[in-house]
A and B are shown apart, each in its own frame.
Chain A
Amino acid sequence: MLAFIIRRVLQSVLVMLVVALVSFSLFRFVGDPISSMVGQEASIADRAALRDALGLNDPFLIQFARFVGDAVQGNFGISYRLQQPVMELIMSRLPATLELALVSGIVAFIFGVGFGVYTALRRKGWASNTIMTVSLIGVSLPTFLIGVLLIWVFAVELQWLPSFGRGEVVSVGSWWRTGFLTHSGRLSLILPAITLGLYQMTLIMRLVRAEMLEVLRTDYIKFARARGLTNRAVHFGHALKNTMVPVITITGLQLGSIIAFAIITETVFQWPGVGALFINSVRFVDVPVMAAYLMLIALIFVVINLIVDLLYYAVDPRLRVDRAKTRH
């Protein structure tokens, strides 16, 4: 057990290093930070001096080593753009993204499972067909367009919901600022959460439907029916329960894609999360923030993977690291 954990942790560290190396080597192609950092009057000599001061003239490997050395100590430097410590910036934006991801994840999960079960049980009904088709619209239009259309309908035309931002936030603890505790904060969450959750909802719904249909065919369910259990008990007690393991696994692993799509949702809704911070940093070539963001994403997925692996190991030692069966 211990050897397995150590091996997996070492693998994770290696993955982190690879992500760091790859992302770091790409920054030079994103653009030149200097031209964003100085005014148009700056002379070529001034620009060269700043480039020197930032260490951008050093060989790539030296820059990378310096970055890793600092990062290990939790120091990601100062943002070129906002001139604040990068860790502090990211930490101040993270709650917004996590709250948005959480709410849209929950919404997607509830509606996804609900619709999935319904469409599996009433496979031929017109309501099922409508749900299946309408849900596909959510994945047939780009996220940014859905967001803009929602703003147009609900903020501009109906004026029910805010068009941008997070509303009023309240500090909880030393650094977490939440929008859950205010009316405007909750209102502001609705449109971005729908925009972000639509895609995941469709995914979960289809997965639940497919799994349910599979399970309902199994002998196990036939036995349950034969034992005279009610439809309700069969469907929810037995069938749904059996579909939940892969569904939860997939939903958990989808966190990465929720965070990725958050980049777009946050940009459209001016949601002050890490995704919008990342996009603004790309535009400015704010290398320290970009590097830290990518490391954060890598860390999140490495941790999720690690937890999933360890859970599988704990549940079923036979599976070892092979969990392909449940991952499809």
Chain B
Amino acid sequence: MSDKTQIPAPRSWMFRAWDSDVAYSFRTSPVAIVAGAVSLLIILLAVLAPWIAPHNPYDPSSLNLMDGFTPPMEPNAFTGNVYWLGTDNQGRDIFSTLLYGARISLFVGFAAVLFAMVLGISAGLAAGYRGGWVDSLLMRVADVQLSFPSILIALLIFGVARGFIPPAYRETMAIWVLIVAIGLSDWVQYARVVRGATMVEKNKEYVQAARVIGAHPLKILVRHILPNVMGPVLVIATIGLALAIIAEATLSFLGVGVPPTQPSLGTLIRIGQQYLFSGEWWILLFPSLTLLALALAVNLLGDWLRDALNPRLR
């Protein structure tokens, strides 16, 4: 190959991506485009929250309690302040709180999925590649995990964490505990898929060949087997993200979750739920809509990805 053909390599990579089947399927699916746009928008707003949000809901000293329960677009009866989406029971601007809340929910969601993925993929690779007692043990643990209610697992992990983390760090650690709790209740799916695929791949000629020439097992796993299982893993991860965000909300209803001074979308819904009959509809409506839009968009993306990555369905 000559030098000339090598120069536009990045462009050709982009072309290749653009022309790939998955991208084609995306471009031709209006649902995927809308879902992608909504997800991206919410993620962007969440990431940029500190720069976009008109108020900082995490700074309690900046709040004026008298601003509480201001309806959307109407001046507060005492302070005269106007807020786009109104304020909650602490006088927090709902719009700002939503951005920050989405940030927490997305962080918990992504981190929990990542945690579950790393754990599940490692376990799946180990079980599938080594087989024998490693496989038996891991799959037995997975059995226990799969059938044992995930909410209970999360509740129990919260209990343990409370015992081991010194009181002074509990609030700051709460979010990490949530991530571990949700992640731990979700790793089995990855492990099962990866294990199955690994068992198939490890007997293929190219893997056998790599083995024969003495490649390190870890290298074989990462180089050859992992890329082949990433498709289904990605699908599970997308759906898992939506599930993790909802799981966080559910846990907050049961009283375990992030502190109310730094609310997630779930915490906001739990708080808003108290105002269903009292007339302050905006405290419940906006967080619920945001969560719905986010989870729905991510789920639809997952759906689309599942179909797009499955060549037999095209």
Whether A and B touch directly in their complex, counting CB atoms under 8 A apart, is answered as: yes
Contact residues of A with B, CB < 8 Å? 11, 15, 18-19, 22-23, 26-30, 129, 132-133, 136-137, 139-145, 148, 152, 156, 206, 210, 213-214, 217, 253, 255-257, 259-261, 263-264, 279, 282, 294, 297-298, 301, 304-305, 321, 324-325, 327-328
Inter-chain contact B250/A148, CB cutoff 8 Å: no
- Set B152, B195, B266, B276: member contacting A324, Cβ < 8 A: B195
Q: Does residue B262 face the partner (Cβ distance < 8 Å to A)?
A: no
Inter-chain contact A140/B250, CB cutoff 8 Å: no
Instruction: Closest B residue to A218 by CB, please name it.
Output: B312
- Set A29, A139, A304: member contacting B147, Cβ < 8 A: A304
Inter-chain contact A28/B163, CB cutoff 8 Å: yes
- Set A140, A304, A325: member contacting B295, Cβ < 8 A: A140
Q: Does residue B214 face the partner (Cβ distance < 8 Å to A)?
A: no
Inter-chain contact A142/B156, CB cutoff 8 Å: no
Q: Which residues of A contact B243 (CB under 8 A)?
A: 139
The docked-state distance in angstroms from the alpha carbon of A253 to that of B192 is 15
Inter-chain contact A297/B295, CB cutoff 8 Å: no
Q: Does residue B162 face the partner (Cβ distance < 8 Å to A)?
A: yes
- Give 9 new A-B contacts, CB below 8 A, not counting A29-B163, A137-B296: A139-B299, A140-B242, A141-B246, A144-B250, A145-B288, A253-B147, A294-B152, A304-B147, A324-B139
Inter-chain contact B148/A26, CB cutoff 8 Å: no
Tell me which of B149, B151, B156 has the highest count of chain A C-beta atoms within 10 A of its own C-beta: B149
Inter-chain contact A11/B151, CB cutoff 8 Å: no
- The contact string, 1 if C-beta is below 8 Å from chain A, for chain B 132-168, is 0000100110011011111110011001101100000
B134–chain A nearest beta-carbon distance, Å = 14
The docked-state distance in angstroms from the alpha carbon of A152 to that of B151 is 25
Query: For the complex, would chain B's binding face be called helix, strand, loop or mixed by DSSP majority?
Result: helix
- Set A140, A214, A257: member contacting B292, Cβ < 8 A: A140
Inter-chain contact B196/A325, CB cutoff 8 Å: yes
Q: Which residues of A contact B220 (CB under 8 A)?
A: none
Inter-chain contact A260/B151, CB cutoff 8 Å: yes
Inter-chain contact A140/B291, CB cutoff 8 Å: yes
The docked-state distance in angstroms from the alpha carbon of A18 to that of B253 is 28
Given A324-B196, A325-B196, are A253 and B299 also a contact pair (CB < 8 Å)?
no
Instruction: Closest A residue to B252 by CB, please name it.
Output: A142
- Set B148, B156, B270, B300: member contacting A136, Cβ < 8 A: B300
Inter-chain contact B299/A136, CB cutoff 8 Å: yes
A-B contact pairs, 21 of them (CB 8 A): A11-B140, A15-B140, A26-B163, A136-B300, A137-B292, A139-B243, A141-B246, A145-B269, A152-B277, A213-B313, A217-B312, A253-B146, A255-B147, A263-B151, A264-B254, A301-B147, A305-B143, A324-B192, A325-B196, A328-B192, A328-B193
Given A264-B253, A324-B195, A328-B193, are A142 and B151 also a contact pair (CB < 8 Å)?
no
Q: Which residues of A contact B89 (CB under 8 A)?
A: none
Contact residues of B with A, CB < 8 Å? 31, 136, 139-140, 143-144, 146-152, 155-156, 159-160, 162-163, 192-193, 195-196, 242-243, 246, 249-250, 253-254, 266, 269-270, 273, 276-277, 288, 291-292, 295-296, 299-300, 303, 306, 312-313
Q: Which residues of B contact A152 (CB under 8 A)?
A: 276-277
Q: Which residues of B contact A23 (CB under 8 A)?
A: 156
Q: Which residues of B contact A15 (CB under 8 A)?
A: 140, 144
A109–chain B nearest beta-carbon distance, Å = 18
The docked-state distance in angstroms from the alpha carbon of A22 to that of B192 is 24
Q: Which residues of B contact A144 (CB under 8 A)?
A: 250, 253, 270, 273
Q: Which residues of B contact A141 (CB under 8 A)?
A: 246, 288, 291-292, 295
A60–chain B nearest beta-carbon distance, Å = 12
Q: Which residues of A contact B152 (CB under 8 A)?
A: 260, 263, 294, 297
The docked-state distance in angstroms from the alpha carbon of A206 to that of B306 is 11
Inter-chain contact A257/B150, CB cutoff 8 Å: yes
Instruction: Closest A residue to B189 by CB, please name it.
Output: A328
Inter-chain contact B250/A142, CB cutoff 8 Å: yes
A213–chain B nearest beta-carbon distance, Å = 6
Given A26-B156, A324-B195, are A264 and B149 also a contact pair (CB < 8 Å)?
no
B293–chain A nearest beta-carbon distance, Å = 8
Inter-chain contact B242/A139, CB cutoff 8 Å: yes
The docked-state distance in angstroms from the alpha carbon of A287 to that of B154 is 18
Inter-chain contact A297/B148, CB cutoff 8 Å: yes
The docked-state distance in angstroms from the alpha carbon of A253 to that of B150 is 13
A258–chain B nearest beta-carbon distance, Å = 9
Q: Which residues of B contact A145 (CB under 8 A)?
A: 249, 269, 273, 288
Inter-chain contact A29/B269, CB cutoff 8 Å: no
The docked-state distance in angstroms from the alpha carbon of A255 to that of B148 is 9
A205–chain B nearest beta-carbon distance, Å = 12
- Set A298, A321, A328: member contacting B148, Cβ < 8 A: A298
- Set B139, B156, B196: member contacting A22, Cβ < 8 A: B156
The docked-state distance in angstroms from the alpha carbon of A210 to that of B235 is 13
- Set A129, A210, A217, A256: member contacting B31, Cβ < 8 A: A129
B6–chain A nearest beta-carbon distance, Å = 41
